[in-house]
Every structure is written in C-alpha cells, then in structure tokens.
C-alpha cells in the first residue's frame, strides 16, 4: 500500500511542473496588448526631461528615429513623440534637416509586450488533439507587460549630446488557478 502511494505521488510530481517562462508578443490584435503598448509609449515620452528640452522651446528640431522592427508601431511612437515635443516643450518639429536649428536622433530599444508566467502548471500537450504548449494552471502568477524604451542624441549636427536611456513599463498581473484567472491589476486608465 505504501509503495503504491509513493509511486502515485511520484507520478503526480512528474506531471506537475514548476516553471517560469517568458514569451515576447509580436501580435497586437487584442485590446489588452494594444493598451499595454500604447500606454507604455505614452509614459515613455512623458518621461522626457523638462530641463533638457526646455532649451529648445521655439526652435526648429529635426527628428530622426530608428527601430529594428515593426514599422507601424514605430510610426505610432514617432507621432506620439512629435506631439509631446510640440505640446509640452513648444518645439517646432520639421521634416528636413536643412530647415532645423537642432536635431534629435532617437533609438527605440523596445516597443513590445511580454508575458511572464511563474508557478506550477500541469502540461496537457501529451493528450491527443491538444496543442503541445497547452498547460493547466495549478497556481501561477501571470504578468503581462507593455515595455517601451529609448535613448537619444540631441543638439547641433556634429555636436550631439546623448540623453539618458528612459524606460516605461505598463503591466497587468493575474493569479492563474485551474479553470479561472483572477486579475490582480487593471490596465484601464481613466482621465
């Protein structure tokens, strides 16, 4: 009897795994993904230094941005950046470097969402007809983040000064239990 209980316990421990995974998302079809990313971009440009950009009030600034992927997301971030520069700092953003007094060159290092999952899950991929990555949460913490990060160079062409790296993370967390997920935070913002 004891031997059978030990074998049964070992079988259960074999099937239940404790894990930590991270998954990057490149699809923004869901509302939560879109909110996480756009709110993080909003927070990112909101962190631009008032002291540093105040010197450029009333000046014409040529803005050049770079990112390794996702032209649509970069375009959104670029537009949000130019609106912030115009509205908050009174900077006139121009399309040609010849029309500008100064230049701002931005390097986005992250414009994405990611998911972290910490806890105990039961893999279900061995069941015929079920996707191999399917898992049942026993007890887990699911963290869904929108992450935006950038650094920049600003000043006269040929004499650019590097600004600090700024980062913004917007998150929504949930407690994963079998057959139910309990939200721990909410991504919705009300003004």
Number of domains in the chain: 1
What pLDDT score does 129 carry? 79
Beta strand ranges found along 1-126 (DSSP E): 17-25, 60-66, 92-94, 102-123
What pLDDT score does 134 carry? 75
**Within-domain flag for 105:** yes
Distance CA 143, CA 132 (A): 22
> Which CA distances in Å does 107 have to 32, 134, 136?
25, 37, 40
pLDDT (tens, 9 = 90+) of the chain, 191 residues, equals: 677 765 555 455 554 444 444 444 455 567 888 899 999 999 999 999 998 899 899 999 999 999 998 889 999 999 999 999 999 999 999 999 999 999 999 999 999 998 888 888 778 778 887 787 777 778 888 889 999 999 999 998 889 999 999 999 999 999 888 888 888 887 777 66
What pLDDT score does 7 carry? 58
Q: Which domain holds residue 159?
A: 31-183
CATH number at residue 174: 3.40.50
How buried is residue 23: exposed, middle or buried, by Cβ count under 10 Å (0-12/13-18/19+)?
Answer: exposed
Could you tell me if 59 and 101 are in contact, meaning their C-beta atoms sit under 8 angstroms apart? yes
């Amino acid at each position: 009897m004891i031997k059978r209980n030990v074998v049964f316990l070992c079988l259960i421990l074999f099937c239940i795994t404790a894990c930590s995974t991270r998954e990057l998302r490149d699809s923004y079809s869901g509302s939560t993904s879109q909110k996480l990313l756009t709110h993080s971009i909003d927070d990112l440009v909101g962190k631009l230094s008032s002291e540093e950009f105040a010197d450029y009030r009333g000046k014409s600034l040529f803005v050049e941005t770079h990112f390794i992927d996702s032209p649509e997301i970069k375009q959104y971030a670029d537009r949000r950046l130019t609106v912030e520069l115009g509205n908050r700092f009174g900077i006139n953003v121009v399309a040609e470097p010849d029309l500008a007094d100064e230049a701002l060159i931005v390097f986005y290092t992250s414009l994405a969402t990611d998911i972290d999952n910490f806890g105990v899950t039961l893999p279900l991929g061995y069941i015929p007809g079920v996707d191999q990555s399917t898992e049942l949460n026993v007890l887990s913490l699911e963290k869904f983040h929108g992450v935006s990060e950038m650094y920049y160079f600003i000043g006269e062409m040929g004499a650019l000064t590097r600004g600090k790296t700024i980062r913004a993370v917007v998150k929504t967390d949930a407690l994963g239990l079998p057959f139910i997920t309990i939200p721990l935070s909410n991504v919705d913002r009300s003004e």
